[in-house]
Amino acid sequence: MNELPDGWIETTIGEVAEYVARGKSPKYAEKSSLPVINQKAIRWNGIQKEHLKFIHEDQIDQWGAERFIKQGDILWNSTGTGTMGRACLVRAADLDPPKVVDSHVTIIRPTPGIIDSRFLFAWIRGPQVQDSLEELASGSTNQIELNRSTVVSIRLPLAPLPEQERIANRLDPLLARVEACRDGLNRAGVILESFRSSVLAAATRGHLTRDWREEHNLPREWPIVELKNVASDFSYGSSSKSSKVGEIPVLRMGNIQGGVLDWQDLVYTSDPAEIKKYKLSPGEVLFNRTNSPELVGKSAVYWGEREAIFAGYLIRVRCGEALLPDYLNYCLGSPAGREYCRAVKSDGVSQSNINAKKLAAFAFELPSVAEQREIVRRVKELLALSGMMEVKRSRAATLVDNLIPSILAKAFRGELVSQESRDMPASVILNKLKGDGNVESAAPPRKRSKKPVGRSNMKNVDKDSIKEVILKLEANEFSFDELRAKLGGDYEFLKTALFDLLQEPTPIVRQVFDVNARAMRLVRVIL
């Protein structure tokens, strides 16, 4: 860690938490009186109740009182690639009804009086922990975990408790505003996707070109056709293994994104037979025949951007003279097209499938070629506009995502709120609550002032000796540094002793705020 601000100390989660433990693997029930929190339920902004599971009534007595979540607990996902590391802070509202966690979640219960739970949660959420998860984890691929010994050994900077509270109080509204901004941008993304869907619906139902038909004095007479009657081929692509190097790209289902071809993350082939058999021609439509249920049925048009063939999970469709490729692509991507795919797909264990026969049976309304051209022109204009808005939204979302780690990093450099000289150093509180009586053992190393000639070591000076020095000072008002220059010795020891003097029933010194210097000053009390 970098040099810490005055009064801070480097410690570990184990030293500031009174309880750190993984949950247990329960026997689940459809419903019971005891919900169990799993990884899916844990989100940075809280517990998502819709993802809770339930422990079988027969096992409820096996959960001791310490295993029930408490306000201020931090629940930390501790297993699995992509899920490990996410955490949430338990709020009062989360306690009704009482809940426990399963074996994939670690409960961290901060020690009251040492650390503010919001402060520790912010550290866990911050970049220094989140960016180190891969190094902290143990285990094999997809089975990685944060074991308890790793969690308790994670180091963190500990500020004085009042400063922790100031930091947490400052972070709460800041992060809330960032989250609100992120939620707004996410909603904007949903709106843009809805807009795209609405454009395709209007285009394929005749609403988008109603004025065009009126201008050309044309009736709304679109026949319903099956795709097999206006298109041909319906062939599957290559099943041969491709590689990261080769002569020409092999387009796969991942290369169909948002109704267009994405030429990133390509694989290649150099097999002459494969290239000859599966070579694409401009204007051919590619249909994704297998994928997860929500993604099966994606399509895009190949316009000869570069020479390419297509893989076996795609179906190639060649449009006839009465059907424009772009218009077919819009029909397949429209709400009606998506609904057709959902209705005819066959579902496997993890993927759905639509074969060529079912694709060929797709029925849709077909306007004249002239109107199809007008539809394509208008749709491209509208989708280009929404695409520009999506680029801006995506850039803004990236900036917002970077804000949280930036704010948290600033907080733990001691730059988010002011340091107050009256705050008891974190090392003192930590040692007092440990009960070891050694004030200096946890104090961070500091540069010591040169000990004045003839003065004893500060460790051997009692409060009466400090009072004697204060009474002999020439000025009634002085700073902590001026007092320390007279006494020498350890910074933390003097600060703690001075704090004790300020708490005496009849103190010989008090603190005042110097408006001009914008700093705390000490004033000797004349008795």
30-56 per-position pLDDT tens digit:
999 999 999 999 999 999 999 999 998
Q: Any idea where the domains of the chain sit in the sequence?
A: 9-158, 161-220+377-412, 223-366, 446-524
| Burial profile 319-350: b = 16 or more Cβ within 10 angstroms, e = fewer | beeebbbbbbbbbbbbebbbebbeebbeeeee
Give the pLDDT confidence of 383-423 residue by residue, as tens digits.
Answer: 999 999 999 999 999 999 899 999 999 999 999 998 888 88
Q: Are the C-beta atoms of residues 386 and 195 closer than 8 Å to each other? A: yes
What is the arrangement of strands in the sheet containing 35-37, beginning at the earlier edge strand?
Answer: 28-29, 53-55, 35-37, 100-101
Question: DSSP assignment of 154-197, as one string?
Answer: -EEEE--HHHHHHHHHHHHHHHHHHHHHHHHHHHHHHHHHHHHH
What is the arrangement of strands in the sheet containing 87-89, beginning at the earlier edge strand?
Answer: 17-22, 105-110, 74-77, 87-89
Q: In the chain, what percentage of residues exceed pLDDT 70?
A: 87
For residue 225, give the nearest of 375, 142, 327, 87 by alpha carbon: 327
Dihedral class, residue 491 (left if φ above 0, else alpha if ψ from -120 to 50, else beta) = alpha
Confidence category of residue 356, pLDDT binned at 50, 70, 90: very high
Whether residue 206 is predicted with pLDDT greater than 80 in this model: the reply is yes
- The amino acid sitting at 203 is A
List, in sequence order, every beta strand (DSSP E) within 438-483. 477-478
Q: With helix as H, strand as E and coil as C, how does 233-264 read?
A: EEEECECCCCECCCCEEEECHHHEECCEECCC
- In the block, tokens 């590689």 appear at 243
Average pLDDT over residues 488-513: 67
- In the block, tokens 């249909």 appear at 287
Which pLDDT value is given to residue 261?
A: 96
Give the pLDDT confidence of 119-162 residue by residue, as tens digits.
Answer: 999 999 999 999 998 888 887 655 788 999 999 999 999 999 99
Which pLDDT value is given to residue 468?
A: 80
Q: Which CATH superfamily is domain 9-158 in?
A: DNA methylase specificity domains (3.90.220.20)
Determine the distance from the C-alpha atom of residue 301 to the mean position of all C-alpha atoms in its chain, rounded to a whole number. Answer: 34
Whether residue 437 is predicted with pLDDT greater than 50 in this model: the reply is no
From CA 205, how far away is CA 220, in angstroms rounded?
Answer: 10
Confidence category of residue 348, pLDDT binned at 50, 70, 90: confident
Q: Could you give the count of Cα atoms lying within 13 Å of 148 in the half-sphere of its Cβ?
A: 10
Query: Does the bond joining 97 to the residue before it have cis omega, within 30 degrees of 0?
Result: yes
Longest dimension (CA), the chain: 109
Q: Are the C-beta atoms of residues 234 and 362 closer than 8 Å to each other? A: no
* N-to-C CA span, the chain: 46
Q: Could you give the count of Cα atoms lying within 13 Å of 82 in the half-sphere of its Cβ?
A: 3
Whether residue 446 is predicted with pLDDT greater than 50 in this model: the reply is no
Which pLDDT value is given to residue 444?
A: 40
Average pLDDT over residues 441-467: 46
The overall average pLDDT reported for the chain is: 87
From CA 132, how far away is CA 120, in angstroms rounded?
Answer: 16
Give the pLDDT confidence of 59-105 residue by residue, as tens digits.
Answer: 888 888 889 999 999 999 998 777 899 999 999 999 999 999 999 99
From CA 284, how far away is CA 282, in angstroms rounded?
Answer: 6
For residue 61, give the nearest of 37, 107, 27 by alpha carbon: 27
**Least-confidence region, from 53-62, 103-112, 331-340:** 53-62
Give the pLDDT confidence of 294-317 residue by residue, as tens digits.
Answer: 789 999 999 999 999 999 999 999
Q: How many angstroms separate the Cα of 502 from the Cα of each of 37, 239, 463?
A: 47, 81, 11
Which pLDDT value is given to residue 466?
A: 79
From CA 502, how far away is CA 246, in angstroms rounded?
Answer: 78
Average pLDDT over residues 426-449: 55
3-class DSSP assignment, residue 232: strand
Which pLDDT value is given to residue 433?
A: 67
From CA 485, how far away is CA 498, in angstroms rounded?
Answer: 14
Q: Which H or E element spans position 417?
A: none
Q: Which two tokens stand for residue 416?
A: 């988010």
Which pLDDT value is given to residue 447?
A: 37
On the question of a common fold for 9-158 and 223-366, the answer reads yes
For residue 13, give the nearest of 211, 145, 157 by alpha carbon: 157
List, in sequence order, every beta strand (DSSP E) within 237-330. 248-251, 256-257, 260-261, 267-269, 284-288, 290-291, 299-302, 309-310, 314-319
Give the contacts of 315 (CB within 8 A, at least 6 positions apart).
234, 235, 236, 237, 286, 287, 289, 356, 359
Q: What is the CATH number of domain 223-366?
A: 3.90.220.20
Burial class (CB in 10 A: 0-12, 13-18, 19+), 255: buried
Q: Which H or E element spans position 108?
A: strand 105-110
Which pLDDT value is given to residue 462?
A: 63
Which pLDDT value is given to residue 496?
A: 63
